[in-house]
């Protein structure tokens, strides 16, 4: 496993959402598209995550008033390693905590909704 993946897979790390801008409304638009960017602040690593909607939780999120928390989960390949990104974002600050989980090929295919023939 590559060093960056190993570092971000150990414990929780400060994250931020600021693309296309640092607002709850912009995050909601990205969620609706199924794809969000998570910036790991310690390393400066920004990851574009394909969301797995049934693993996300927005029940505590009030996007129109920028209050509450959003829980996002999705997949990405980072440095040739298949991983799941998990992040909890405070909608007031657009910051929170996140981490990566290395996945097997089968787990990644399930997360990314890839069907085997």
- Give the pLDDT confidence of 67-108 residue by residue, as tens digits: 999 999 999 999 999 999 999 999 999 999 999 999 999 999
Least confident of 29-38, 61-70, 77-86, 107-116: 107-116
Q: Is residue 116 part of a domain?
A: no
- CATH code at position 61: 2.40.250.10
pLDDT at residue number 2: 86
Parent domain of 29: 3-111
Strand pairing of 81-90 and 61-62? unpaired
CA distances from 48 to 60, 77, 82, 84, 105 (A): 23, 10, 13, 11, 19
pLDDT at residue number 113: 87
Domain count, the chain: 1
pTM for the model stands at 0.93
Q: Is residue 40 part of a domain?
A: yes
Q: Is residue 33 part of a domain?
A: yes
Q: Is residue 117 part of a domain?
A: no
């Amino acid at each position: 496993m590559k060093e960056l993946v190993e570092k971000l897979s150990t414990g929780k790390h400060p994250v931020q959402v600021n693309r296309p801008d640092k607002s709850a409304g912009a995050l909601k638009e990205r969620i609706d598209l199924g794809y969000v960017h998570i910036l790991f602040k310690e390393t400066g690593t920004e990851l574009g995550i394909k969301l797995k909607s049934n693993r996300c939780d927005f029940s505590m999120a009030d996007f129109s008033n920028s209050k509450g928390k959003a829980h996002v989960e999705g997949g990405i390949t980072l440095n040739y390693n298949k991983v799941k990104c998990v992040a909890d974002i405070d909608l007031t600050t657009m910051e929170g905590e996140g981490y990566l989980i290395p996945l097997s090929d089968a787990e990644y295919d399930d997360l990314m909704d890839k069907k085997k023939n």
